[in-house]
Amino acid sequence: MDKSLFNDLVASLNEMVEIETGKKQPNPENVYVHKIPNVKQIRASTNLKQSEFAKALGVSLASVQSWETQRRIPTGSSQKLLYLLEKQPSLITSLQQI
C-alpha cells in the first residue's frame, strides 16, 4: 500500500474516533440526517387502527407500535411505503386491496 494512502487512512480513522468521542465536531456539510417518518401521524391520516395499518403495510402490529413510540425506526421498503403514504395517504386503499 502506498505510504500516503495509508497515512490518509490512519488520519481518517483518528478523526472518526475524535468525532465519536465528542472531541471534534464534523463539518455540517459532511453530515446527512435521514428524516424519520412520523408513523403515528401518517397512520392517523389514513384513519386506520394500528392493526389495520400493520396489515396494509404487511408488517406486524408490534412493528407499528414500536415505530409509533420511536423504540424502533422503520427501514427498507417499510420506510419507503411510509414516505409514499405521507405524501399520498389515499394510497392506503390500494395497499389494503393487495
- Structure confidence at residue 12 as a pLDDT band (50, 70, 90): very high
How many secondary structure helices (H) and strands (E) does the chain include? 6, 0
Q: What is the pLDDT of residue 47?
A: 94
Q: What is the pLDDT of residues 28-84, one digit of tens each?
A: 888 887 788 999 999 999 999 999 999 999 999 999 999 999 999 999 999 999 999
Task: Report the C-alpha gap between 12 and 17 in whole angstroms.
Answer: 9
pTM, entire model: 0.68
Encode 56-85: b = buried (16+ Cβ within 10 Å), e = exposed: bbebeeebbbbbbeeeeebeeebbebbeeb
Return the amino acid letter for 81: L
CB contact at 8 A, 40 and 50:
no
